Amino acid sequence: MPEITLTTLVLLCLAAAAAGWIDAVVGGGGLLLLPALLLGLPHVPAAHILGTNKAVAIVGTSGAAVTYVRKAPVQVGTAVRIGLMALAGSMTGAFFAAGISSDVLRPVIMVVLLAVAAFVMLRPSFGTAAAGDGTDRKVTRARAVTAIVLVGGGIGFYDGLFGPGTGTFLVLALTAVLHLDLVTASATAKIVNVCTNGGALAMFAYQGTVLWQLAALMAVFNLAGGMFGARMALRKGSDFVRGVLLVVVFSLVAKLGFDQWTA
């Protein structure tokens, strides 16, 4: 593990806790965690940053998934099928991630964030209908296959290659394709995200690009944040999830924009 000051270590642990909370509520905790690792470990290769990020994230995501499954109406079978496809996609993406330079990560993340913000703002009612209120449309077999192949495979590949925003993209895609409310989509996304994190982490571990000691410490904080965030999302509902999503997206766009401008 590289030399890290106590101040940097504390800040990384706090970022891991906040990222776990964000990831559980709206997904996209990596949009906070990955930039924090990039800033805190500026001389560490990008592949090691990505691998460490996955080792931290899978713990918090797993804790949030367990919390959701216990209390939310999640179709576990559907989530697992999408997750298995996502696992294959994430392993493929992680295989190619070793050649990624950290110089390209910030611009990519900014574009991704702006796209998410635009979509949510242009669709103010997106994902706000309560599950079971009679507005849900029947999910056809074609939509289920689309969710497995495109949502699972496509977003899984992205998760292994870059990672930031995967949970958010899963929530948005599952809401659009399977007509889930945002809370149920968040719950389903956590199960899928465990699979994508697991596939990517397996590849990074095989390549030896994980800082395990740092990841273990940060994972404790990420787990606590994830379980707390899942409970809050279940209690407050879809409107709360959407509000947090927009706040998180615009805050991170501003932060990354400033970093890119001053780089």
Number of domains in the chain: 1
- Euclidean distance between CA atoms 155 and 169, whole angstroms: 7
Alpha helices in 123-181 (DSSP H): 141-146, 155-161, 166-178
Residue 13: per-residue pLDDT: 95
Q: Which domain holds residue 197?
A: 4-260
Kindly report whether the global pTM for this prediction surpasses the value 0.75: no
Please give the structure tokens belonging to residue 236: 């407050």
Alpha-carbon torsion, ordered 85, 87, 90, 96, to 10 deg: -100
Confidence (pLDDT) at 219: 96
Residues 6+ apart with CB under 8 A from 241: 25, 26, 127, 182, 183, 186, 233
What is the Cα–Cα distance from 138 to 119, expressed in whole angstroms?
A: 23
Separation CA 44–CA 2 (nearest Å) = 8
- The tens-digit pLDDT sequence of the chain (263 residues) is 678 889 999 999 999 999 899 888 877 777 788 888 988 998 888 889 989 999 999 999 999 889 888 887 777 888 888 989 988 888 888 888 766 665 666 677 677 777 777 776 776 665 555 444 433 445 567 777 888 888 888 888 887 777 667 777 888 888 878 888 878 888 888 888 888 888 889 888 998 999 999 999 999 999 999 999 989 888 887 778 777 777 767 776 776 677 667 76
* Residue bearing tokens 């906070």: 32
| CB neighbours of residue 51 within 10 Å | 27
Cα–Cα dist 160/162, whole Å: 6
- Residue 138's pLDDT is what? 55
Query: According to the model, what pLDDT value does residue 134 have?
Result: 38
DSSP state of 140: P
Query: In the prediction, which pLDDT does 130 show?
Result: 45
Burial (0-12, 13-18, 19+ Cβ within 10 Å), 3: exposed
Q: How far apart are CA 156 and CA 76, in angstroms?
A: 18
- pLDDT of amino acid 98: 65
Q: Which residue has the tokens 């899942």?
A: 230
